[in-house]
């Protein structure tokens, strides 16, 4: 009986880390693709950033509401990156921001779509 208690404790701790990972969700996948599409469409010669900020906010609120802690944390970081976007930013700054957002979007989408 005494040997069973440590095994049970280890099992409970291990199962807690599994709870932070959420399961596949079609809606979450589409929102992630919407974010990637908005970033992809960003034209740094005349930046329109409202679509990017809106799509990132939608994904952020969805993951928060659903309880997808793993993805919500990643989207929170992307939200911080998107907050730096301005309509009057230089093309060089815009290009750097776009690359960073593309990378973050790919990571988030891979995380969401890699679930089962």
pLDDT tens track for 44-92? 999 999 999 999 999 999 999 999 999 999 999 999 999 999 999 999 9
Phi-psi region of 67 (alpha: psi -120 to 50; beta: other; left: phi over 0): left
Measured CA to CA, the distance from residue 101 to residue 79 in angstroms comes to 9
Measured CA to CA, the distance from residue 96 to residue 84 in angstroms comes to 11
Average pLDDT over residues 22-31: 89
Lowest mean pLDDT among 20-29, 32-41, 76-85, 96-105: 20-29
Q: Which residue has the higher pLDDT, 14 or 23?
A: 23
pLDDT of residue 24: 85
How confident is residue 115, by pLDDT bands cut at 50, 70 and 90? confident
pTM exceeding the 0.75 threshold for the entire prediction = yes
């Amino acid at each position: 009986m005494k040997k069973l208690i440590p095994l049970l404790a280890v099992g409970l701790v291990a199962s807690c880390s599994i709870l932070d990972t959420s399961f596949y969700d079609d809606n979450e996948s589409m929102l992630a693709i919407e974010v990637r599409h908005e970033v992809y469409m960003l034209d740094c010669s005349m930046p329109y950033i409202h679509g990017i900020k809106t799509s990132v906010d939608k994904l952020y609120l969805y993951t928060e509401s659903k309880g997808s802690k793993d993805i919500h944390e990643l989207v929170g970081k992307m939200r911080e990156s998107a907050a730096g976007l301005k309509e009057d930013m230089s093309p060089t700054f815009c290009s750097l921001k776009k690359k960073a957002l593309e990378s973050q979007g790919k990571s988030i989408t891979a995380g969401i779509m890699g679930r089962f």
